[in-house]
């Protein structure tokens, strides 16, 4: 547990301060959670501690501002720096360069908790963490010391640049070129849909230094003030509005060769290991009819953030059923259970249809809770597989991303439906969880690509 020391110290410090009633995490405490959906089940005592820190931070520092950040499109830099003080700026970066040194499962637990306060902001924090991890893992000693401490403290912010206007799922066909010239690479091309683009300080960029295909891709770190680096207009999005999204443009942009991570031609492997968190066999992909589509299975970002959104929406739906009245009864009033039978008990002032309608919502809530827990179990199993380097890690990550993002979006959407017309108002948080979680089925490898990966694994392995 030595690697967990930085965040562990923060957890113990927060606990001590809370006991002395001088908590820096001011505000209302997290609402009670029904035991059947409690995300603390199965965690160690230490994991429960930093999960609580993340939940409290989400409730007190993020949730009260979530709607404002969304409507005004605010990039909450200072709030994220507060999160970094708790160890959330480099969760799975090594401690010797300022990281917390936690595991993939620990990371998933933290991102799920933070997402209950703001999915959009947590998603960016996750991308930032991934960039810091890539530099920590594939950079040399000088690069790690130069970039990682400021990224872990979030004094500087990072963006990941892989997707291009003409290469989404087919990432290996990227065209942004990096031609060697003396001690520099000269970059030309553009990247699309870059989270944090224009507002962040460090860009981890996949470029073509060689021939076609994945073996011709290298990875460079480009700093914001580099001549030849510019940005497109800020995109107007359905969700994820607390993080800016722009095109990143390179026009004869000279980047020092010393900023290359790893060797030339290693970039695609770095990209896939970063986004999947595990190993992608590039050579095997090439043999299989050149299926080098973008294995972007970063379950940490989409799946864990989707879990947080769904968890919050189950809570919101439960609260709504407890207080909302229709036909003289709260929506939570289950007459069938009071009679000891599954058939609806019909009061004289309620028609059978109305009684069925009330019970229908209760059954829907039960289904939502079941799908939430099933998604969480699959995501955590995939996280363990990655941490252990198991052979089924890639397929499990694909399954986790596919299942969790689909099911959790459906949970959020059903919660909105339960709110009726109120759910469609921006005064109610449920609509923002729906908008912010929808994109998880699209980015970092569409769910259609996840199905391709899973089916290919099933059909090719004996």
Residue of 49, 112, 407, 444 with catalytic role: 444
Rounded CA separation 336/134 (Å)? 55
Q: Yes or no: say if 418 and 100 are a contact pair by the CB < 8 Å rule.
A: no
CB 122 within 8 A of CB 135: no
**Distances 338 to 191, 342, 348, 351 between C-alpha atoms, Å:** 59, 10, 16, 17
Write the secondary structure of 99-134 as one string of H (helix), E (strand) and C (coil).
CCCCCHHHHHHHHHHHHCCCHHHHHHHHHHHHHHHH
Q: How far apart are CA 96 and CA 380, in angstroms?
A: 27
**Is residue 246 a contact partner of residue 192, using CB atoms and an 8 Å limit?**
no
Q: Which of 213, 294, 208, 214 is nearest to 250 (CA)?
A: 208
Active-site residue, 444 included = yes
Alpha-carbon distance 200 to 108, whole Å? 24
User: What is the torsion angle, in degrees rounded to the nearest 10, for the CA atoms of residue 380, residue 386, residue 388 and residue 393?
Assistant: 100
Give CA–CA dist 183/246, Å, rounded: 29
Residue numbers annotated as active site: 444
């Amino acid at each position: 547990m030595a690697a967990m020391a930085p965040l562990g110290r923060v957890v113990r410090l927060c606990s001590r301060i809370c006991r002395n009633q001088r908590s820096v995490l001011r505000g209302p405490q997290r609402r009670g959670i029904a035991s059947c959906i409690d995300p603390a089940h199965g965690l160690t005592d230490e994991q429960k501690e930093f999960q609580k820190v993340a939940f409290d931070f989400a409730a007190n520092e993020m949730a009260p501002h979530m709607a404002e950040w969304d409507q005004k499109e605010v990039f909450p830099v200072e709030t994220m720096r507060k999160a970094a003080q708790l160890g959330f700026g480099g969760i799975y970066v090594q401690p010797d360069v300022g990281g917390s040194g936690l595991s993939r499962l620990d990371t998933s637990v933290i991102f799920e908790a933070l997402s209950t306060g703001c999915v959009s902001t947590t998603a960016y924090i996750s991308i930032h963490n991934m960039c810091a991890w890539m530099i920590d893992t594939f950079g040399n000693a000088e690069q790690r010391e130069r970039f990682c401490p400021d990224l872990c403290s979030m004094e500087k912010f990072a963006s990941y640049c892989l997707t291009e206007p003409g290469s989404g799922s087919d990432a290996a066909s990227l065209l942004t070129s990096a031609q060697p010239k003396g001690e520099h690479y000269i970059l030309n091309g553009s990247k699309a849909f870059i989270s944090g683009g224009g507002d962040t300080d460090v860009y981890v960029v996949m470029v073509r230094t060689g021939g076609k295909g994945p073996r011709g891709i290298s990875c460079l770190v480009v700093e914001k003030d580099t001549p030849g680096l510019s940005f497109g207009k800020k995109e107007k999005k359905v969700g994820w509005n607390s993080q800016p999204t722009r095109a990143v443009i390179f026009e004869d942009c000279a980047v020092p060769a010393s900023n290359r991570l790893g060797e030339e031609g290693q970039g695609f492997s770095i990209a896939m290991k970063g986004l999947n968190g595990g190993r992608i066999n590039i050579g095997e992909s090439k043999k299989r009819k050149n299926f080098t589509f973008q294995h972007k299975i970063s379950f940490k970002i989409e799946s864990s953030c989707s879990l947080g959104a769904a968890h919050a929406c189950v809570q919101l739906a439960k609260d709504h059923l407890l207080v909302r009245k229709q036909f003289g009864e709260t929506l939570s009033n289950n007459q069938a259970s009071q009679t000891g039978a599954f058939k609806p008990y019909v009061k004289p002032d309620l028609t059978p249809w109305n009684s069925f309608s009330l019970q229908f919502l209760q059954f829907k809530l039960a289904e939502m809770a079941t799908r939430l827990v099933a998604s969480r179990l699959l995501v955590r199993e995939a996280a363990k597989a990655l941490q252990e380097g198991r052979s089924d890690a890639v397929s499990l990550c694909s399954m986790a991303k596919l299942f969790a993002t689909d099911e959790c979006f459906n949970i959020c959407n059903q919660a909105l439906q339960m709110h009726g017309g109120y759910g469609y108002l921006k005064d109610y948080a449920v609509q923002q969880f729906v908008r912010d979680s929808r994109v998880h089925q699209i980015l970092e490898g569409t769910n259609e690509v996840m199905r391709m990966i899973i089916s290919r694994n099933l059909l090719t392995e004996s």
